[in-house]
A = this chain, B = another copy of it.
Amino acid sequence: MNITEQKISIEKVKQSKINQVDFDNLSFGSVFADHMLVCDYKDGKWEAPKVVPYQPIVLDPSSKIFHYGQSIFEGMKAYKDVNNDTWLFRPLENQKRLNVSAKRMAIPEIPEDYFMEGLKTLLKVDEQWIPKNEGSSLYIRPFIFATGQGFHASPADEYKFIISCAPSGAYFSGKVKVLIEEKYSRSANGGVGYAKAGGNYAGQFYPTQLAVAKGYNQVIWTDDNTHEYIEEAGAMNIFVRINDTLITGPTSDRILDGITRKSILEIAKDEGITTEVRKITVAEVIAAAKDGSLKEMFGAGTAAVISPIATFGYRDVDYDLPENEDSMATKLKKRITDIQYNKTEDTFGWRYKV
């Protein structure tokens, strides 16, 4: 069945909550737009998506989401330009990745038109919720979870796909200090690290709490086998600049194939920056920090955009990154956000008008 926008039913709120929101002081993902898109999977198929008022979800206590962590999600943003037009950034990449995650977690894939038409319909209904302030955007959270019931450890037979939106400001406030982790790991070879599966995030909370207690914001994960290679951060891929080369690790079954990461690689090439996609050892980063060739490190992801790392810790030693006049992070962040907010030409064809 092909979904057109006409077929998506819309039930509007009686009273909008938008006046309660302080758009000048938005935190990240803590106030939610008036509506959400809901789509149920039953009897072997996805039913027609509906736009409904943001409302509680009612579930049987034996629903498998509570027991077996069968859940996946995506993270996207909608941007307003000066003409009040609404833009998305490479939304089909999120739709495809949601289905990559779905497959790995034995969740039924969501058809492209359900996702895209559902999202566009929702964004039109909640258009007023897209912030116009510099640096703010509407964070979009598509997610799917198992509603089917029973204590048998096997895939559910029913699921719910929801898109909910939250007008949001910056993910990190202030300088970012990270800790290179050697004891705990994020993902296994042959595991689910490349999927945006709920459990991947809960597994990071405790090691991150330990790092936060030591004064860091975020953990940098290394491979679970040798802990010699830098892999990624909580919800960011990691870039390292040594002299004038920008390096990021290859994706693998342990690492999320970030859309920001691959966009940055393309922008960097376009800007004439030498890039390398190869494994990065902790040892070379330490050596480069010591001899001064380590110029920059930054995280890249939809939520945090490009987040320059000010300091990294490793084995109880902190290494400060220098301030750079010709910062690649600054240049790349400007270029990618200018594309996202329609402030510059989009030679890549990434911008998507709603």
Question: Taking beta carbons and an 8 Å cutoff, which residues of A are in contact with B?
Answer: 27-30, 32, 36, 54-62, 65-71, 73, 75, 103-106, 139, 141, 143, 145-146, 149-155, 162, 164, 166, 168, 171, 183-192, 197-206, 208-209, 224-225, 227, 234-235
Contacts of A70 in B (CB 8 A): 198, 201-202, 205
C-alpha spacing A164/B67, complex, angstroms:
12
In the bound complex, do residue B69 and residue A30 qualify as a contact, i.e. CB atoms below 8 Å apart?
no
C-alpha spacing A62/B139, complex, angstroms:
13
Q: Give chain B nearest CB distance to A168 CB in angstroms.
A: 8
In the bound complex, do residue A209 and residue B69 qualify as a contact, i.e. CB atoms below 8 Å apart?
no
Contacts of A61 in B (CB 8 A): 32, 36, 54-57, 162, 164
C-alpha spacing A209/B143, complex, angstroms:
22
From A61, A105, A206, name the one whose CB has the most chain B CB atoms within 10 angstroms.
Answer: A61
In the bound complex, do residue A67 and residue B197 qualify as a contact, i.e. CB atoms below 8 Å apart?
no
C-alpha spacing A105/B166, complex, angstroms:
25
In the bound complex, do residue A203 and residue B197 qualify as a contact, i.e. CB atoms below 8 Å apart?
yes
- A62 touches which of B68, B103, B164, B191 (Cβ 8 Å): B164
C-alpha spacing A205/B197, complex, angstroms:
13
Q: Give chain B nearest CB distance to A17 CB in angstroms.
A: 14
Nearest chain B residue, comparing its CB with the CB of A29: B151
In the bound complex, do residue A189 and residue B225 qualify as a contact, i.e. CB atoms below 8 Å apart?
yes
Q: Give chain B nearest CB distance to A139 CB in angstroms.
A: 6
Nearest chain B residue, comparing its CB with the CB of A192: B203
In the bound complex, do residue A60 and residue B56 qualify as a contact, i.e. CB atoms below 8 Å apart?
yes
Contacts of A105 in B (CB 8 A): 202-203, 205-206
C-alpha spacing A321/B153, complex, angstroms:
26
Q: Which 4 A-B pairs have the closest CB atoms?
A: A199-B199, A29-B151, A69-B198, A69-B199
C-alpha spacing A186/B69, complex, angstroms:
14
Contacts of A202 in B (CB 8 A): 68-71, 105-106, 146, 192, 197-199
Q: Give chain B nearest CB distance to A156 CB in angstroms.
A: 9
C-alpha spacing A68/B202, complex, angstroms:
5
Contacts of A29 in B (CB 8 A): 62, 150-152
Nearest chain B residue, comparing its CB with the CB of A62: B32
30 A-B contact pairs sorted by A residue (CB < 8 Å): A27-B152, A28-B152, A30-B150, A56-B58, A65-B66, A66-B198, A67-B71, A67-B143, A67-B201, A69-B71, A69-B197, A69-B203, A70-B198, A70-B202, A71-B202, A104-B206, A153-B201, A153-B204, A153-B234, A154-B208, A155-B205, A185-B188, A185-B190, A188-B188, A188-B191, A189-B225, A191-B191, A197-B203, A198-B198, A199-B202
